[in-house]
Amino acid sequence: MAQTAERTLSPRRAELVAAAARLFSERGYHGTSMKHLADSLGMLKGSLYAHIGSKEELLYEVVDEGAERFLTRAHAASTMEGTASDRLEAFLVGHIETAIEHLDAATVFLNEWRYLSHDLRAAVQDKRDTYEGLVRGIVTDGISSGEFRADADIAMTARLVLSAGNWVYAWYRPDGSLSPTEIGHRYTESIVRGLKTERTRTPAGAGGETEVAL
């Protein structure tokens, strides 16, 4: 009855998902019509359905792709050797690099995922919970080992880290003077400095001015 949406193969389908990521991030899910999508690929909207099952399926694919990228990097950071500070830094740098390198998918992952219908949204929510759990784990480790202050608020600290990383998409412009890695390092330094028990201050260079962007 319904034509099966062949999984991930087909290069043309990948183009579709990429175009959807760009449009959804620019105009939002509900603000993007199938005609917009088709126009951006030089075809008619009806033709899209040779590659996909529905508009929502497309949204899910973009969102899930974003979630997987974040999780992969986060898992690597969580399990690597080193102090909790090292891992927290690797986590945040990885988060910000991922967000910037795939700005479209990351924006959609952060902003449009809530428009998924119940079941698909729940699947994404699971991954988000897992992700936040990884940050909390690192912070908890740092406290256990005496590296971080014992009275640090774990949930609040984790959210501060994620908030910093999650808002990058809102102000980052590719023509800025700082690299993603550099941004990640600076954010981490600010946060970790406040977390540590003893002072292990690393000198930080003064950066150039950048334009105002909230």
Partner DNA sequence: GATTCACAAACAAACGGTCGTTTGGTCACT
Partner DNA sequence: AGTGACCAAACGACCGTTTGTTTGTGAATC
Binding residues (CB under 7 A) for DNA: these are: 2, 10, 12, 32-36, 38, 42-51, 53-56
**Distant-in-sequence, close-in-space partners of 38: CB < 8 Å, separation ≥ 6:** 44, 45, 47, 48
Place of tokens 């979630």: 67
- Quote the least distance from Cβ 72 to DNA, whole Å: 28
Burial class (CB in 10 A: 0-12, 13-18, 19+), 82: exposed
Could you say which of 28, 34, 40, 120 contacts a second copy (CB under 8 A)? 28
Question: How far is the C-alpha of 171 from the C-alpha of 167, rounded, in Å?
Answer: 7
Residue 199, both tokens: 């002072």
Interface with a second copy, residue 183, by CB under 8 A = yes
- Quote the least distance from Cβ 71 to DNA, whole Å: 27
Query: Do residues 118 and 172 touch, judged by C-beta distance below 8 A?
Result: no
Report the partner that residue 36 touches, choosing among a second copy, DNA, none (CB closer than 5 to 8 A by kind).
Answer: DNA
Interface with a second copy, residue 193, by CB under 8 A = yes
Report the partner that residue 12 touches, choosing among a second copy, DNA, none (CB closer than 5 to 8 A by kind).
Answer: DNA
Report the partner that residue 82 touches, choosing among a second copy, DNA, none (CB closer than 5 to 8 A by kind).
Answer: none
Report the partner that residue 51 touches, choosing among a second copy, DNA, none (CB closer than 5 to 8 A by kind).
Answer: DNA
3-state secondary structure of 191: helix
End-to-end CA distance of the chain: 49
- According to DSSP, the residues that pair with 148 across neighbouring strands are 196
* Listed ranges 3-11, 55-63, 95-103, 187-195: which one lies at the site for a second copy (CB under 8 A): 187-195
Which of 90, 93, 91, 111 has its CA nearest to residue 169?
Answer: 111
- Quote the least distance from Cβ 23 to a second copy, whole Å: 13
User: What is the dihedral angle through the alpha carbons of 165, 27, 101, 192, rounded to the nearest 10 degrees?
Assistant: -10
Q: Which residues bind a second copy (CB under 8 A)?
A: 27-31, 111, 115, 128-129, 131-133, 136, 151, 153, 155-157, 159-160, 162-164, 166-168, 170-171, 183, 186-187, 189-195, 199, 203-207, 209-210, 212-214
